[in-house]
């Protein structure tokens, strides 16, 4: 009411807050599992492997949908989308609005809670390395954006990443309920390519043009300025952009390789079905010919050599 705007900085007390919300995330995880996913699993009668993947995708669909809506609300209300220059203006962004700080703390709490969930959910040993790698990457990027005062850029990148992940896990859920329905995977493929292009464009915009124009170009860890003096060097800036482009290119290459393999398997399956249908049709025709006799010199004869025509008896 008095026009004062309260902003926040990160500190050691964040660890206590994150610990509290880790327990909240564990409780919400159990609620979604018991009241939604377990009931669906009982109806579908999935195998153990599909059961584990269904639970994983179900939990991530709920999380990604919530995060996308929440993150979109934050970036719209804070004006980061309507004013892209705000992503690098007045860097470093040491002081955060309440909703931005709270969003980052909840994100860190969720991905930290995923570590004990590997034990609670009895994840198979083959799946643990993949999930640990995914959790570590999310924690590294989210904590890096939070501690290095790149929270505005991190919000947009998380929004793009979570949007693509939501469609992927939603497609997996639909596929587990009906294996013939793969249309949502095509939607995910389009969303994935579009989000990769937006991510690459955003990196070039912020790193190549935004941060080098920051007024304060001196290294000042006390004020939270870690990067602007580095990006003022054109050689370092071009090296970072080259690494980003190479990483995005490797991601796209793996994605294209996966899609080509998936389409190849699909067309092989379709061709095998057509061959099976054609073979079945030929066998049916052979059986029909065998039942009705065979043709010899234009005359239909039965299998025992007798003519199928009925002979007329002469009257005595």
Integer Cα distance of 29 and 33 in angstroms: 6
| In a domain? residue 287 | no
| pLDDT computed for residue 277 by the predictor | 76
Cis peptide bond prior to 92, omega within 30° of 0: yes
| In a domain? residue 151 | yes
Averaged over successive runs of 10 residues, the pLDDT of the chain (316 residues) comes to 79 95 95 91 83 91 96 94 86 88 97 92 86 95 91 94 95 86 86 93 84 64 61 74 87 87 79 77 63 50 50 48
Integer Cα distance of 306 and 254 in angstroms: 68
- Cβ contacts of 293 within 8 Å, gap of 6 or more: 300, 301, 302, 303, 308
| pLDDT computed for residue 269 by the predictor | 78
| In a domain? residue 307 | no
| In a domain? residue 227 | yes
Integer Cα distance of 151 and 100 in angstroms: 8
Phi, psi angle pair for 296, to nearest 5°: -145, 115
Pairing of strands 299-301, 294-296: antiparallel
- Structural domain tally of the chain? 1
On whether the CB atoms of residues 61 and 184 are closer than 8 A, the answer is no
Q: What DSSP element (H or E) covers 295?
A: strand 294-296
| pLDDT computed for residue 233 by the predictor | 67
| In a domain? residue 55 | yes
| In a domain? residue 288 | no
| In a domain? residue 256 | yes
Domain residue limits at 50: 7-273
| In a domain? residue 187 | yes
On whether the CB atoms of residues 8 and 95 are closer than 8 A, the answer is yes
């Amino acid at each position: 009411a008095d026009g004062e705007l309260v902003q926040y900085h990160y500190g050691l007390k964040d660890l206590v807050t994150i610990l509290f919300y880790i327990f909240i995330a564990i409780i919400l995880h159990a609620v979604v599992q018991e009241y939604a996913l377990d009931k669906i699993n009982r109806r579908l009668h999935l195998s153990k492997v599909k059961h584990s993947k269904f639970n994983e995708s179900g939990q991530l669909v709920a999380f990604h949908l919530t995060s996308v809506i929440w993150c979109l609300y934050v970036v719209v209300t804070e004006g980061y989308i309507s004013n892209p220059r705000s992503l690098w203006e007045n860097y470093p962004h040491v002081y955060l609005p309440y909703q931005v700080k709270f969003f980052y703390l909840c994100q860190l709490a969720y991905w930290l809670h995923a570590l004990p969930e590997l034990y609670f959910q009895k994840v198979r040993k083959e799946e643990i390395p993949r999930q640990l790698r995914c959790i570590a990457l999310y924690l590294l990027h989210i904590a890096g954006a939070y501690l290095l005062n790149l929270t505005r850029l991190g919000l947009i990148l998380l929004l793009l990443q979570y949007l693509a992940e939501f469609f992927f896990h939603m497609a997996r859920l639909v596929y587990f309920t009906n294996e013939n329905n793969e249309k949502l995977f095509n939607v995910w493929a389009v969303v994935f390519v579009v989000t990769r292009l937006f991510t690459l464009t955003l990196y070039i915009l912020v790193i190549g043009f935004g941060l080098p124009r920051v007024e304060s170009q001196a290294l000042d860890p006390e004020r939270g300025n870690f990067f602007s003096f580095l990006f003022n060097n054109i050689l370092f800036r071009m090296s970072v952009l080259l690494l980003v482009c190479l990483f995005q290119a490797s991601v796209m290459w793996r994605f294209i390789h996966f899609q080509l393999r998936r389409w190849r398997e699909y067309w092989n399956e379709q061709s095998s079905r057509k061959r099976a249908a054609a073979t079945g049709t030929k066998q049916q025709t052979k059986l029909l010919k065998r039942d009705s006799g065979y043709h010899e010199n234009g005359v239909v004869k039965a299998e025992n050599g007798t003519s199928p025509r009925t002979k007329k008896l002469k009257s005595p």
